[in-house]
Structure formats: structure tokens, C-alpha cells
Structure 1
Amino acid sequence: MKYKFLIYISYSYALPTGNPLEQEILKRGEEVWWFADEKDGKKALKGKDNVYTDIEDVIAYEPHIVLAATNMVPDFITGVKVQIFHGFLAQKRPSKRHLFSEFRIRGFFDLYCTQGPSTTENFKKLAKKYGYFEVVETGWSKVDPLFPIETKEIAAIPNILIASTFTERLSLAYNEEVFQEIKRLSTTGNYNFLMVLHPKLPAEIIKKWKQLEGEFFTYYDTTNLIPLFKKSAILFADTTSAIQEFSLQHKPIVCFDHTFEHDYLIHVHNANKIEASFQYALEYPEKVLKKLATFTQRLHPYHDGLSSARVIDASICFLNKDKTELKPKPINLIRKLKIRQQLHYFTFQTFNRPPVYKKEILDLEKITAIIPTGNEVHNIENVIKSVDFADEILVVDSYSTDGTYEKALQLADKVVRRQYEYSASQKNWAIPQAKHEWVLLVDADERVTVPLREEIRAILANPPKDNTVGYWIGRKNHFMGQHVKHSGWKNDKVIRLFKRDYCVYENKKVHAEIIADGKIRYLKNKFYHNTYITLDKYLEKMNRYAWWQARDYHKKTGELTAYHFVIKPCWSFFKHYILQAGFRDGVVGFTIAYIKSYTVVMRYSKVWLLRRGRK
């Protein structure tokens, strides 16, 4: 069984920390998903396929390891909670207690993967003090792409990177004199400025600086700074943590009004001295570079670009080791309530001790997973992955033309083809071809969640002794990217786990159900079901269903009247939108109710056409 990783973030600037980890996890053949608990992070993850948008899906995923580039992480999801950090210790605020107070211990993490000696030493002391977490020095995954460092000559017109933090009293981005001086210097042709600003800065500040764009000034709307680090000769900054990242290249850094007079930085406090500081930095003063080398050796001594691999190794090692000597994590009621409020998910479930991964070896009855497909290349890999616990995976393809068949041949145990008539016909043809007595039938747009998988495995380990031959399985439906909690879909269920020789589908074109020769029980857990690709595709599907339903209804429907074309569609809309609380699903609920009523109209319109020999 694969290790299941979850990369947990809040803001977009954590993506560059998680991306190298994702690459390392996938390279090893393990499984990884992302989740963001803030809008900015959710927006940044939109381009990825392996993203959970609903905390309930994260819970169902049951990760073994949670890699968190956040200050807090839900205590109610499974897995070892690993702090991977979203930045270096920036040392931007004087503290009466300790410089290290910038990294607070909040009681959520089992393992801290530290970046270098300057953080490891402090965390080791804290681990000894609290006793409920461990510390492993790994280096920081975000800077892996920075290595190996390439030495380049400074260009005739040198690139100067400008970066700023978001706190107003610490940020150069708010300083009008700095703005005017950079504006002036950008017109001299002596310097080429590259600028990035923290995504938390107000839009009006960002807009102001973007107005400087021209031949020698470029604004970059990105959180991936490493390409800019590589092409820049020096950095101009305030107290931003980009200072520490840039310093690993051993290139000079000019800081405006830094709160500490660090000897590895070139400090400037007056805007009219900025250009002189740039000229000094571009000389690469040996005194400053020596101090910088000493600083970075304690900050991040790893120059091999393999910190991500060390993080994954440390996490897996910690997961599998004996952890009985660790104390339980603190009760932490206020912070636990806060994260439940943030995620709008309230539960008494909490994991105060890190788990130990044990691969169970059980004497299970064998099972065949049957997956009917028809142009499902976008679904086939993930649906097969979700049933990888089955002893046989049988794909029944209806002559797909989009690559589904070819992909299934690579992933499934057996792939057969048959011309599609209608769903019940296809499934009844497939069931006798199953190698094993127990059958799990999964549509391509469904996924077997981890809790459902374990419930099925429990049944196979201890099959019912009575005449039970099948099980109803509920479906957690998603439509238009949203979990549909009402609209008549709340209690959706299907018989999908059954004994091969005791069950057959009724001969109906649409919504046929199993006819069982024996007892049918209910499973507690549900399929994840995403019936939606695009609205056009969904309407096309509903139109196809309407034709099939028309053939069934043609035989049992009397004379067509206004009742069929007006009353029944209106009743359908009222039932789904009002009685079944579709209005609580917002636009999605309205859309579902409207399509349902439209389908009723189309069904009887097609009955009318059938009776006249038309299409």
C-alpha cells in the first residue's frame, strides 16, 4: 500500500515550499494531495488536479503524513503532522523573550523538519521541554531549486531585485521617499529593477509600484522567487524573509531600515543613500561576503538540493518508528476551536498522539472491481487507483475513442469491450465475467473513499453468515465543483457491493437497480461522486437519458396532456428546490432543480415524438 501524503497550506506563498515535496513524493510512487484553508491558497491551487476543496474529503482521504506549511493544522485529521515551514526565521522583530519567539510552539505538530543549526538548536531545546514532538534537521524544501548555485558575471546593467514584507511599519513598499528614489533610478538606465511584493500587501500599494513598469523596471506577480534570485546581482529589501533565501547564493543584500543591524547585510536608513549602497553592494565587498557565508552556514548548510528528500525520509521514518516515549499533545481548546471555526467543521474527534503505520495482513475473501467506461480518460486513472485493493480490476469499455481503453490496458487486470446499449445491459453483461464471487461495481465518475474501502475490507474479512448478498452504498454527490448537501441528492444510494451469482440489474434503460436473491444491507460510508464535467456535457447526458426514459414511459403513459408538460415539470422543480431544500445549495441547487424539470419536459416531448415515429 502506498504512503498517502497531504500538503496543507494557507497562502499562495507556501506553494514553492510544497512543490519540490510533491515532486519527490510522486518520484517515489507515493500518493499526494493538497489542501488550503484560506482563499488565497485555494486560488493558487486551482491549476493542480490533486487538490481537495472540502475538509470532509481530507478526512475521508486519511493521510498517513501531513506536511504543513502553516502555523496550525487540524487535529481531527489522521496522520503524522509535520511542520515544514513557509519561511526562514526572519529575525525582523526585537523580542524581550527570545529571537526564536517568532516560531511559536502551538501544540499541533508531531515532527519539526528544521532548516539548519540556527533553528534546530532552539527546537531541540523546546522538544526536550515539551516532550510531545521530535526534531530532525533536513534543510528547507523551498530552496532545493536554487541549487547548484551558478556563478555569473555582473551585467553592464545589473539586475537588482526588490522585495518587501507586508507589515506597514517594516515595509519599504509604504515609504514614499524610497518609492521616489527607485522611480528616479529606474529612469537612469544604470540599473534594471525586478520587483516582487508580498501578496498580503494592499492592492493600492501594489498598483502604485506597478506604475513604474518600463524598460528598466519589471513587476512580477509571483510567489516563486528563485528564478528572480538567480538572475539578480543584489537584493534590495526591508525585513522580508526573502533576505535569508537570497543570502544562500552569497550575493550582497541592501536593507532599508532593518530592525537589526546584522553584520552580513548592507544597511541604509535614508532614501538619498540608496544608490550609494547599491554601488557598494555591486562591488561584492569581501568583508560582507565572509559574514554572509558564516550566517548561511548556520541558516541552511545544505547545497545539494536534496532537502525535500530528507523531509520525506524523516517523515516516513517517524511514522514507522516507536513513539511511545512521546507525551500526548496539549489539550489546546482555544486553538482547536479556532481551526474548527475557520474550516466550518465541528467535531469532538481529535488525535493527541502521532499514529504508527501498520500494514494489516488479513485473510480476506477475494473481490472483483468492475468499472464500466465510455470516453472516461479524465477519470480512468483515479477511479482505478481508488479500487486498487481489489483482487481483480475489470474494465468494461464501450469502444471509447478518447484513449480510455489504451489507458485502462496499462492499469487494470482485465479490459474487455462491448458496444454500449444502456447502463443495465452493460452491467449485466459484465457481472458474470468477474473472476471472484464478491463484486464491487464502480462508475468512472465515482471514487471509493478510504473509510468505504476499509468498511468493504472488514466485510470481506468477516462475511455475513446469513443470506446477505449485497449492500447499499450512499453517494456523496458533487456538482459544478460543489458538494451538494440537499436538492434530493442527500440520501442518494445504490447497490454496488454484491455477490455475483445472486444479483442482476432490472431491465430498465435509466436508473435500473439490482434485483437480489437475498438480503440487502447498508454500508455506513459513501462513494465520492462527481457527476459533472461541464454544463454542456451534463445536459447532453440528461438529453440522452430522456430518450431512454421516453422508451420506458411510452409503454406505461396514457394520453399526453398539460399535466405531463406543465404540472409535472413544475412539481419536479418545486420538489427539488423547495421541499428538498435545493435553495440551500445556492446557484448549484437552482441549476439542479431547473435541469430536473427540463428533463421531465424533454422526456414527455420525446414520448410524443416516439409515438409519431420521429426523433
Structure 2
Amino acid sequence: MKCILFCQNNYSFGILEPIKNYLLAKNHDYIWYINEKILPDFPFKNENHTSLITNLENYKADAIFVPGNEVPHYLHGLKVQVFHGLAGEKKGHFRIRHYFDLYLTQGPYFTKKFIDFKNKYQDFDVIETGWPKLDVYGTDLHLYDDEKKQLLANFNAKKILLYAPTFSPKLTSAPFLVDELKALVKNPDYLVLLKFHPLMDKNWLDIYKNLADETPNIIFETEKNIIKFLLMADLMISDTSSVIYEFLLLNKPAITFKNISENIVWENSFDYAQLIPLVEKNLSEDTFAKNRKDIFEQYHPYNDGKSAERMVEAVKNYIAKNGVPKKRKISLFRRMKMHSLFGKPSKN
């Protein structure tokens, strides 16, 4: 099977890496598509990759794995949506754009909604597989334990707190927590790691970089894959970011500010000034521990580390049964959008 790993944003690397590893183990052929703007961040430059859509046209893939929202409709191959997060409340998560032939869902909460859309539109299929980015939870849960122990020792701290806000201007807590985080780490037991979305406004990135430079127990992290910091942290601070769900699946406490989810089973506050007492409360009591069961069961009930395997095998079996679609029927608007993003198809 010939596959394209389609990356428009650098968060895609951590999502697609487990799929790449399984493709490699099973001797499938693959090529990475890397948008030119994120090429400097691409961690697998020794592997087959391209930033040219014409190369993908010539490649004639059987399947295209896409964590993002768009993929050129004219490329050959089964177009597979693998998703870039778990936040169903985010605008656009359940928007059907008609680029995809197959949706591989993370858990029952998502599967049910996409099956409803499948029944409505009848031009794609849905298979529940779990999400490959979280395979590490089943295979290497303690991968960074030694690094965490050393980091805490270096700063003479006892707990790692991860601040990972969303980039969305309407939803982000970044403008409101600069002083609160600075006050928080006056307690030397706390070490705060800052991990920002790649699309975060540069002005806020600069402000938080300065905060980290000026404050001993705050570190501005630049590593692209957040999984490392999710595994290391004892508590997360955020807002309406999908990584909240990724963290809760580790059965650890989280605090959000003004989260818009309809299914909040963690500490959510509308008062930024409450950060310090909320951190102290959730570290000492973890009163929401019993409520996290719903997240496990509905959002991602897979802890075997085999979601990437299920994805690849689902695609292989789907193609064996149905073949590779000849083309997608999409509206003129969608067609024009793809042309503006990726160019028109070549005439070869």
C-alpha cells in the first residue's frame, strides 16, 4: 500500500509518527507531504518527503492520512481524516467539508456524531480506531520519568505544572495569566512549563518568553510534540484547548479558564485570580478524579497502544473491499478553495 502522510501544521508530526512507524514495520511505502512553512520543524528529513503537490500527483497513493481539515480533492488515494484533537466543542470539529472518504474516529462520542453525518450525506464511511498520537500512553507511559526526576531536582521543585493554552483569540487565557503564573511560582515547590500552540499570536509568545527569562521556575518549551510534557506534568492549566482531553486521559487533574465544553468533568473557573488556590486544591484533593471516567469511556477508550495499527489495517481492508475512489464530488466553492491553497491539478 502506498500512503501519503499529509502535514499542513507541525502538530501533525506527533499524530502521524505512530502511523509512519507501523507502515514501516509492515513494509508499506509512504511519503510525507510537508507544507513549506513548517519544513524547518520536520523531524524526519532523512525520510521520503516533499513540499510539492505535483510530486504527490505523480506518486499515485492508495491512501492519504490527514490530521488537518483540508486535502486536495484531485489527488489519487483514499482520503482519510485522522483528526488533530479531541475537543468536539471547538468550532469546525464536526464540520463536514466533503474532502474525505473515510473518518477514523477516536471514541464513541465522536463516532456517533460522524455516523449521523454519514447517514445524512452518504458519501463517506466511519470506523472507530482510537487516535495514534496517544499510542504512547499504552506503550511508553513512563518514557520521561527519569528526565522529570532530574528536572525537578535541578530546580529544587516538587511538582511540574504545564500551561498549554489554545491560540484562538476568543478562547485563549494567555492575555490574563502572565501575572498569575509569575505569582504562582513564588511557591518554590512549583515548576511551570509553558507549551504554546504553533499558531499562537507572536506577541503573546514574546511576552511569555520574557516571563520565562525573568522567572527562575518557568520554562518556555519549544519542542513541537506536547506528549512529552503531558507525560511529565502533575497538573495542567489551560482554557478551551483540545490537549485538556489528552491530559485527562492520563488520569491527572486539570484546571481550565472559561472553557466552552458542554461536558466539563474537571475544574473550570471564570476567575483568573483563583489560579493559585485552584492549583493547591487540585494537587492536594483531586476532587474531579471520579468524574474522568466519562472521558475515558467516551473520548478514547483505547489504552493498548495500537490505534495506529488499527488505522492502517482499517484503511487496507477498506481499500481491499471498496477500491480506491476515482474522484470526490465537491462544490465549486470547495474546489476553488483547494486551488487557492494547493494550486490546480497538473495536466499530466
Instruction: Give the TM-score normalised by the residue count of structure 2.
Output: 0.89
Distance in 2, matches of 1:124 and 1:260, equals 21
**In structure 2, what is the Cα distance between the partners aligned to 1:33 and 1:276?**
49
| Structural mapping, 1:340-419, within 5 Å | 340-346=339-345
Cα offset, 1:21, TM superposition: 0.7
Which of residues 112, 120, 129 is equivalent to 2:120? 129
Is contact 2:130-2:300 (8 Å) kept? yes
For residue 133 of structure 2, the aligned residue among 132, 142, 151 is 142
Which of 55, 58, 81 aligns to 1:57? It is 55
Which residue in 2 is equivalent to 1:212?
211
Shift in CA distance, 328/29, structure 1 to aligned 2, threshold 3 Å: closer
Are the structure 2 counterparts of residues 261 and 67 from structure 1 closer, same or farther at C-alpha, using a change threshold of 3 Å? closer
Shift of 1:331: 3.2
Aligned match of 1:42: 39
Cα pair distance change 1:323/1:126, threshold 3 Å: farther
CA change 1:78–1:255 in 2 (3 A) is: same
How far apart are the structure 2 equivalents of 1:77 and 1:13? 22
Give the secondary structure class of the aligned counterpart of 1:142: helix
Match runs of 1:452-601 below 5 Å: none
Cα distance, 1:92 vs structure 2: 4.3
Give the whole-Å Cα distance in 1 for the aligned partners of 2:78 and 2:261: 36
1:299 equivalent in structure 2: 299
Q: Which residue of 1 aligns with 2:256?
A: 255
Contact 2:19 2:308 (8 Å CA) reproduced: yes
- Find the residue that maps to 1:254 and give its secondary structure: strand
TM-aligned CA deviation for residue 269 of structure 1: 1.9
- Counterpart AA for 1:41: I
The answer as to 2:268 corresponding to 1:277 is no
**Equivalent pair of 1:117/1:299 in contact (CA under 8 Å):** yes
- Greater mean deviation of Cα atoms: 20-29 or 187-196: 187-196
3-state SS of paired residue (1:168)? coil
**Matched pairs, number:** 335
Q: Which has the higher contact order (CA 8 A, sep 6+)?
A: 2
Among 82, 85, 89, the alignment partner of 2:83 is 85
Alignment partner of 1:17 is 2:15: yes
CA distance in 2, matches of 1:120, 1:301: 12
CA deviations over 1:171-215 (Å, ceiling 9, x no partner)? 11122xx21010122233131101101111122211111122243
| Residues 35, 42 of structure 1: 8 Å contact kept | no
Q: CA separation in 2, counterparts of 1:209 and 1:216? A: 13
**How many Å separate the matches in 2 of 1:323 and 1:65?**
10
Deviations 1:130-162 (CA, angstroms, capped at 9, x unpaired): 111111100001111122545989986211000
Residue 32 of structure 1: how far off its partner (Å): 1.0
The answer as to whether partners of 1:66 and 1:79 remain within 8 angstroms in 2 is yes
The answer to whether the 8 Å contact 2:73/2:328 transfers is no
Q: Which amino acid aligns with 1:294?
A: D
User: Is the 8 Å Cα contact of residues 64 and 78 (structure 1) preserved in structure 2?
Assistant: yes
Aligned to 2:107: 116
Cα 1:329–1:130 shift into 2, 3 Å = farther
Q: CA deviation at 1:346?
A: 4.2
Query: Counterpart of 1:491?
Result: none
Q: 2:70 aligns with which of 69, 72, 97?
A: 72
TM-fit CA distance, 1:25:
0.4
1:7-48 Cα offsets, whole Å, 9 max, x none, are: 1121111111111111110011111111134x4433332742
Q: Closer, same or farther in 2 for the Cα pair 1:296/1:55, shift >3 Å?
A: same
Aligned partners of 1:9 and 1:35 also within 8 Å: yes
* 8 Å contact kept, 2:73–2:327: no
Q: Is the 8 A contact 2:74 2:328 kept in 1?
A: no
Shift of 1:284: 4.4
- Whether the 8 Å CA contact 1:90–1:240 is kept in 2: the answer is no
Contact 1:67/1:81, CA 8 A, preserved across alignment: yes
CA distance in 2, matches of 1:334, 1:157: 54
CA distance in 1, matches of 2:103, 2:198: 26
SS at match of 1:74: coil
Q: Match of 1:181? A: 180
For residues 254 and 226 of structure 1, the distance between their equivalents in structure 2, rounded to whole angstroms, comes to 18
- Structure-2 separation of matches of 1:263 and 1:111: 29
- Secondary structure at the aligned position of 2:95 is classed as coil
Sequence identity (%) = 27
CA distance in 2, matches of 1:160, 1:315: 38
**Matched-pair contact (CA < 8 Å) for 1:255–1:267:** yes
Instruction: Kindly report which structure 2 residues correspond to 1:186-205, keeping only aligned pairs within 5 A, or say none.
Output: 186-205=185-204
Task: Specify the structure having the higher radius of gyration (Cα).
Answer: 1
CA shift, 1:263, in A, is 3.9
Task: Verify the 8 A CA contact 2:99 2:330 in the aligned structure 1.
Answer: no
> How far does residue 68 in structure 1 lie from its aligned partner after superposition?
0.9
Conserved 8 A contact 2:76-2:326? no
Q: What is the rounded CA distance, in whole Å, between the counterparts of 1:269 and 1:251 in structure 2?
A: 21
Q: How many Å separate the matches in 2 of 1:184 and 1:328? A: 56
Name the structure 2 match of 1:566.
none
Deviation of residue 252 (structure 1)? 0.8
Cα distance change on mapping 1:253 and 1:220 into 2, 3 Å: same
| Cα displacement string for residues 330-389 of structure 1 (whole angstroms, at most 9, x for unaligned residues) | 332211121112223345x8xxxxxxxxxxxxxxxxxxxxxxxxxxxxxxxxxxxxxxxx
- What displacement does 1:328 show? 7.5
Letter in 2 for 1:253: A
Match for residue 29 of structure 1 among 27, 30, 50: 27
What TM-score, normalized to structure 1?
0.52
Matched residue type, 1:316: K
Separation in 2, partners of 1:47, 1:138: 25
Do 1:12 and 1:40's aligned partners in 2 also have CA atoms closer than 8 Å?
no
Runs of 4+ in 1 over 6 A off after TM superposition: 151-156
Are 1:186 and 1:192, in contact at CA under 8 Å, matched by a contact in 2?
Answer: yes
Aligned ranges for residues 292-331 of structure 1 at < 5 Å?
A: 292-322=292-322, 329-331=328-330
Residues 1:104 and 2:95 aligned together: yes
**Aligned-partner residue type, residue 88 of structure 1:** L
Map Cα deviations across residues 206-248 of structure 1 (whole Å, 9 max, x no partner). Answer: 1111122243111111331111111111100010111011111
Q: Deviations over 1:537-593 (max 9, x none)?
A: xxxxxxxxxxxxxxxxxxxxxxxxxxxxxxxxxxxxxxxxxxxxxxxxxxxxxxxxx
